[in-house]
Amino acid sequence: MNVLILSALILTILFLIGWLASIKIKNASIVDAMWALSLGIPVFIYVSAHQGNDLREVILLGMALIWSLRLGVHLAKRIYAHHPDEDSRYKILREQWGEHSNRNFLIIFLINAALVFSLSLPFYLSSQFAATIQLLEWIGLAVFVIGFIGEIIADYQLALFRKQKGGGKICDIGLWNYSRHPNYFFEAVIWVGIYLFCAASPLGIYTFHAPLLMIFLLTKVTGIPPTERSLLKSRGDAYREYQQTTSAFIPWFKKEI
């Protein structure tokens, strides 16, 4: 069986099982953790099924697992800590859909399976490349590492601020002084790095959909918009002032107001 078909089939079955589990526990939030944790599955299939360059395959699987486990474990812990309460996004949808909510959540689970498959395509093309590691791949790996380190620093600074200042305050130290969402920015950097690495392979340059999709999700769908709405609700005018002076995404100098 073609590895792409096999990966799509396994992801579909996995997310169907996740959907059934969400019905049993009455919490659709688990789809977020599943989405992050499942990327390593198709990438493992790709590198296992093809006799390519061993170092390239190790790097591909390493990047997928590093991204997947860091984000997936973080989301899983958050979901577990709040269970049985759902994320506000799914709670609102459940109220809107009423008796059709379980059926409609199936669509969301399958869409997430498709997103994971789509994000795995750069890894697939790169895994088929048997040549020695190219310069562009080393550059992509360096960008990936920069993004990963930047995200760790942003998360650490936010955790440190909350520990020192407690809840109800606006974090504006370190990277958060230059961006309202530096963690999301460096998440995007990670995927730019993955793209650059995979672009060195034949046809890999055409997988630019992956970083663009991630940036779109972060800035327009599941990242910044719900986070900003929540912070405006909880922080009010203080956060509105922070919005006026601080870049939303790309770290930049403060604005005068």
Rounded mean pLDDT of 159-182? 91
Q: Is the confidence at residue 8, as pLDDT, over 70?
A: yes
Per-residue model confidence as pLDDT tens digits over 192-214: 999 999 999 999 999 999 999 99
Per-residue model confidence as pLDDT tens digits over 68-119: 999 999 999 999 999 999 988 899 899 999 999 999 999 999 999 999 999 9
Query: Quick one: what percent of the chain has pLDDT higher than 90?
Result: 89
Q: Is the confidence at residue 58, as pLDDT, over 90?
A: yes
Residue 168: what pLDDT? 76
- The pLDDT mean for the chain works out to 94
Measured at the alpha carbon of residue 86, what is the angle toward residues 81 and 89, in degrees to the nearest 5? Answer: 125
pLDDT tier for residue 124 given thresholds of 50, 70 and 90:
very high
- Sequence-distant (6+) residues with CB within 8 A of 61 are 40, 43, 44, 47
pLDDT tier for residue 165 given thresholds of 50, 70 and 90:
confident
Domain definitions of the chain by residue range: 1-131, 134-257
Q: Is the confidence at residue 1, as pLDDT, over 70?
A: no
Query: Quick one: what percent of the chain has pLDDT higher than 70?
Result: 99
User: Residue 78: which of 29, 9, 7, 45 has the closest Cα?
Assistant: 29
User: Residue 150: which of 181, 104, 196 has the closest Cα?
Assistant: 181
Global confidence as pTM: 0.94
Helix (H), strand (E), coil (C) string for 79-146:
HHHHCCCCCHHHHHHHHHHHHHHHHHHHHHHHHHHHHHHHHHHHHHHHHCCCCCCCHHHHHHHHHHHH
Distance in angstroms (rounded) separating the CA atoms of residues 210 and 230: 27
